[in-house]
Amino acid sequence: MARRKKLGPARILGIETSCDETAAAVVENGRLALSNVVASQAEMHAKYGGVFPEVASRQHIKVIDTVVEEALAQAHLELGDVDAIAVTRGPGLPGSLLVGLNMAKGLALGSGLPLYGINHLEGHLYSAWVQLGEAATGDPGPQFPLLALIVSGGHTELVLMKDHLHYQRLGGTLDDAAGEAFDKVARLIGLGYPGGPAIQQAAEGGDPAAFKLARAWLPDSWDFSFSGLKTNVLHVVRELTAGQDLQIGEARLPQARQAADLAASFQQAVVDVLVGKTLRAANEFGAAEILVAGGVSANAVLRAAFTAESPLPVHFPPMPLCTDNAAMIAAAGYFRHALTGAADSLDMDIEPGWGLG
C-alpha cells in the first residue's frame, strides 16, 4: 500500500459546469458537504431529447454567479473562509467547461486561493466519500484497493484505485454509455427524458424475464457494449408495433404491460452485465471494496443487485450526488490539496476529452 500522509482539515469550494448542471458546493475535509447547490437545465433540454450545447453554455453564464454565491451563503462562509477552489476541467462540453473554469480562475486570482482542475470522472468517484446533511459519523469512507464502476450519461468505466488519486483504467464502453443506453431505450419505448428514472419507474410492475435480450459479456476484456442490446429492444418494439408508422420517441406499445415488461427486461440486462463484470474484476484484482458512482448508480435495481450479490462492501454516493454536482468536485479537490498541495496554474485550459487513468 502506498504512503498515507495525514490529512489536514480544509474547506474546498467546488464548481462544476461540464454539461447541463450549473453547480457549486463547499465540502469540509473531503467528506462533509456544507452546501450543495445545483441549477439543472434538464427541462430546457428535454424538448431536444438531449443536451443542446449552446443553450447549456449560455445558461451557465446566466446563473453561475448566483449559484456560487448561494453555495457560500448556505455554508455560512465568505470566499476568504475556504482553503482552496476546485473546478471541473474536463471531460465535458467545451463551452460549458469554459464558464466554470473562467469563474474559478477569476475567484482564485482575486482571492489568492490555490486552484485545482479536477477530472469530472474523478469527481464522480469522490461523490461516494461525501456525506450530505448530517455531520460525519466516523465512517472512514471507501477503503483501498477499490474497484470502481462509473456509470453515467457519457461514460461506463471500470477503474482500479489502489490509493487516493491513483486511477488504473481497466475498461470502458465500446459504444453507448450505460446512461446513454437508458436514455435511448426510453425514447424507443416512448418513455421520455431523462430515460434512466423513466425506465426504472416503468419497470416497477414489469417482468424482467419477459423478453430475452442480449447481454454482451465481452469475456476477454473489461470493456462493455450496449449497442446490441439497444438494437435488440428496437426490434422488439418494431414487432410489437407492427403496422404502425414508427417514429423514434413516439412509439407507443399497444399495452402498458408490454412497456413495463420491456423496460424491466432491458434494465435487468444492463444490471446483469454491470454487476457481473464488476464483481469479477474486483475478485481478479484483489479489491477490498467496491464503489459505484454516476447517474445510473441511482438505479434501485442496480443497487439492490450489487448489495445482494457482492461479497465485498459496496459504496454508492448519496442519491442527490449520483448525477452531476459540485460537492464531488470539491471532495476530489480536497484530496489533491491535502495529499499533494500541487495547485494548478491559472494558465490551465479546459480538457474536453480528458480520460481517467
Ligand X SMILES: Nc1ncnc2c1ncn2[C@@H]1O[C@H](COP(=O)(O)OP(=O)(O)OP(=O)(O)O)[C@@H](O)[C@H]1O
Nearer to ligand X, 42 or 346 (CB): 42
Q: CB of 320: closest distance to ligand X in angstroms?
A: 11
332 neighbors 145 (Cβ within 8 angstroms):
no
Which among Mg ion, ligand X, none contacts residue 179 (Cβ within 5 to 8 A by kind)?
ligand X
Q: Which residues contact 202 (CB under 8 A, 6 or more apart)?
A: 189, 191, 259, 260, 263, 264
Return the one option of Mg ion, ligand X, none that residue 317 interacts with (CB less than 5 to 8 A, by type): none
Measured CA to CA, the distance from residue 357 to residue 347 in angstroms comes to 23
Which of Mg ion, ligand X, none does 194 bind, CB closer than 5 to 8 A by kind? Answer: ligand X
| Selected binder of Mg ion within 35, 152, 200, 268 (CB under 5 A) | 152
Considering only residues 302 to 341 of the shown chain, the ones binding Mg ion according to CB under 5 A are 324
Q: How far is the CB of 93 from ligand X (least distance, A)?
A: 9
For the record, the C-alpha cell of 233 comes out as 429492444
**Of residues 72 and 274, the one with the C-beta less far from ligand X:** 274
The entry of ligand X, Mg ion, none that residue 26 binds, CB within 5 to 8 Å by partner kind: none
Binding partner of residue 30 among ligand X, Mg ion, none, CB cut-off 5 to 8 Å per kind: none
Minimum CB distance to ligand X smaller for 186 or for 339: 186
Nearer to Mg ion, 261 or 324 (CB): 324
Other CB atoms within 10 Å distance of the CB of residue 301: 18
Largest CA-CA distance found in the chain, in angstroms, rounded: 67
For residues 35 and 152, which CB has a smaller minimum distance to Mg ion in the complex?
Answer: 152
User: What's the min distance (Å) between Cβ of 168 and ligand X?
Assistant: 19
By beta-carbon proximity to ligand X, the closer residue of 258 and 297 is: 297
If contact means CB under 5 to 8 A according to the sort of partner, which of Mg ion, ligand X, none does residue 208 touch? Answer: none
Taking the least distance from each CB to ligand X, the nearer of 21 and 261 is: 21
Q: Which of these segments, 36-44, 149-157, 209-217, 244-252, binds Mg ion (CB under 5 A)?
A: 149-157
For residue 91, say if its preceding peptide bond is cis, omega within 30 degrees of 0.
yes
Residue 353, CA distances (Å) to 20, 29, 91, 158, 344 in order: 17, 29, 5, 17, 18
Indicate which of Mg ion, ligand X, none lies near residue 226 (CB less than 5 to 8 Å, by partner kind).
none
The site partner of 200 among ligand X, Mg ion, none (C-beta below 5 to 8 Å per kind) is ligand X
Work out how close the CB of 343 gets to ligand X at its nearest, in angstroms, rounded to a whole number.
Answer: 24
# residues near Mg ion by CB under 5 A: 2
Contact flag: residue 351 with Mg ion (CB under 5 A)? no
Shortest distance, position 269 Cβ to ligand X, whole Å = 13
Residues that bind ligand X in the complex, under the rule CB under 6 A: 19, 120, 124, 152-155, 179-180, 182-183, 194-197, 200, 294-296, 298-299, 323-324
Instruction: Report the C-alpha gap between 24 and 26 in whole angstroms.
Output: 7
Residues that bind Mg ion (CB under 5 A): 152, 324
